[in-house]
Every structure is written in C-alpha cells, then in structure tokens.
A = this chain, B = another copy of it.
Amino acid sequence: MKVACLTGGGDCPGLNAVIRGLVRTVANHGGETIGLLEGWRGAIEGNFIPLDPMQTDEILPLGGTILGSSRTNPYKNEGLVQKIVDTFHSLKLDALVAIGGDDTLGVASKLYRDYKLPTIGCPKTIDNDLSATDFTFGFDTCLNTVMDAVDKLRTTAESHRRVMVVEVMGRHAGWITCFAGIACAADAIMVPEEEVDMAKICETLKARRAAGKKYGMVLVSEGAQLKGQDFITKDAEKDDFGHIKLGGIGTRVAKIIEKETGIETRDVTLGHLQRGGSPSAYDRVLGTRLGIHAGRLAIKKDWGKMVALRGLHIVAVPLAEAVGTMRTLYPEFLDEAGEFLK
C-alpha cells in the first residue's frame, strides 16, 4: 500500500506528530508513505519526498510541518483538480491523507465525492473551531504560548501599575481567548461571539484598581467586535463581516481603556508566535493518535472519513459531515470564564 499525505493551510504545532503516526502505522502494515510538498500544490505538481518510518521519530518535537504548506485550493482554478487525479495515478497511490482545516478538508471531501479518490482527512486548526472534533492539535500549544507570554507581561504590568491588552488569534471564534483568559487570570476577555461592551470593561478595571489590584490584564480576540460607536474613532475600517479590521484591535482597545479609565495602558500583539514552537505533550499525543488512526483507516480502506477526537477516543466521521460548519465557543465556557469577569 502506498499512501500520500499533505499538510494545507496555516501551520500549527503537531503536524509532524500526525505525519509520524501515519508513516509508522502504514509501515507497520507493510506499506509506504510519501509526503506531498506545500499542501495541494504538491498534489497538483507531483512534488513529494519519501518518508522513512524511523527517521520520523526525529520530527516529533518540531513545530510546523516538514512538508511545507500553502493555501492552494485546486477547486479555485480550472484543471487543477484533474492534475491531482493524474498525480494520484502516476504515483500509483492507494490513499491520500489530507491534514488541514476546513478548506483543505473540503477539497478532500469533494475529491472523494466527485472522483472517488480514496481520501482521508485529519482536522487541523489552531483556532479549535472545527465542528466534528472535541479539540484540535496546536490549540493546546498555542494556549501555553499565550499563557507564558501573559505570565511574562504580568510582572512588568504590575511594576508600572499598567493595564496590559494582549491581542490573540481568533477571527470568528473565541476559543483561544476564553481558554487563555481562564489560564491567565485575565480581568477581561473579548471574543467574536459577543459584542464587546467597552464601558462595562472599563468600569471593571477601574473598580479593581480602586480595590487595590495594581495592574490589569485584558485578552482580546483579533476578531472581537466593539459595541456601539461611542468609543471608536470614525475611521475604523471594517471587514466583510462588519468586524473592525484585524491586526489592530489590541491597540485600539488599549487606547480606549487608557482614555476612559485614566490608567496607563499598553498592548502586545502575539501574532505568529502563536503558531510556532515545539508542540506541547497534549498536542504531540493528540497529533500522533490522529495520525495512527488515519493510517488504520487507510489500511482498512475506509475512505471519505475524517479522524476526530471524542472524549478519550479517536473516532472516524464522514468528511462530508465534518466540513463546512465553523464551531464557535460553547456558551458553557463563556459562562465559566464569566465567574472571573464580574
């Protein structure tokens, strides 16, 4: 059996764990695995590297993906899909494992539906916003990166009696902000799921200062949207979703807080740091398990499925059901985080 795998979309820690788990499992059953380079681009161009089972031990601790990634979507350009089918046959492949987010998995789903290509999906999003799996790898490493950053910022904020605003990833879902907010003892969080009431947040920060807390810590999703226009300068650009243009919400929020509370306020945007680094133990284990089970699906010739985490177990769900729906933060978690925001 000859299996190809590829990694698509934004990278995150744990991709190499999936690759290792897959390669070893396929090898244990007498098969071989190759890696297509730079997402669907490698599938289109037939560009690949062989993957050795024993050497992949060395990639487990590495962040990112040794295969490279891209946002190439073959369904956006005529003729590219056929090239993938051609590559599949010319390389004499038996299976194609696509590791990626909604976009990458959507292609795998359609290739299975339209061309009966034996595809298998593995979910990847650092934002944890895929609907068919409890958690996605990369999310835990990201939380630890945010937490370590905020732990560093806490002492400097306290030394200068400041409020510190930290902008984290999350365009449409607040998983990172909410979980990191709990883990960092944030005084306020702002997520895309709820319109942000800056007046209320400023009140909370002033009340805590008055009660003796010498610093404040605020976490804001890049996709958070502020309520009303009172606090917002008129030139705030908005994207197609009506959100304030990304990549600046942190600075904007900091300015509002400083102006409204009179407390010196600074902001930090963690940006690409959040995608980097060696995967946490949780992500190494989760990624590895998903890779193993993707391999086992291939061996069983169980096509058109995606591996997913449910409770303690890895299960298989139809790709067609898994893609297309973004999962926003469950109210349960916002409710829990709310205990600390009053």
Residues on A lying within 8 angstroms of B by beta carbon are 7, 10-11, 13, 15, 20-21, 24-25, 28, 38, 54, 57-58, 60-65, 68-70, 134, 140, 143-147, 149, 151-161, 164, 179-180, 182-185, 208, 211-214, 266-269, 271-273, 275-278, 280-282, 284-285, 288-289, 292, 310-313, 330, 332, 336, 339-340, 342
Contacts and interface: CB of A to CB of B under 8 A. Distances in A.
A211 B54 contact: yes
Given A57-B185, A180-B281, A182-B285, A159 B311 contact: no
Given A269-B269, A285-B183, A339-B292, A65 B159 contact: yes
Given A24-B340, A151-B277, A284-B147, A11 B311 contact: no
Contacts of A149: 273
A259 to B, nearest CB: 18
A339 B28 contact: yes
Contacts of A20: 185
10 contacts: A57-B213, A68-B160, A140-B281, A147-B280, A153-B273, A155-B276, A183-B281, A183-B288, A268-B273, A313-B332
A339 B159 contact: no
A140 B282 contact: yes
A321 to B, nearest CB: 19
A254 B169 CA distance: 20
A155 B272 contact: no
A38 B269 CA distance: 27
A110 B203 CA distance: 42
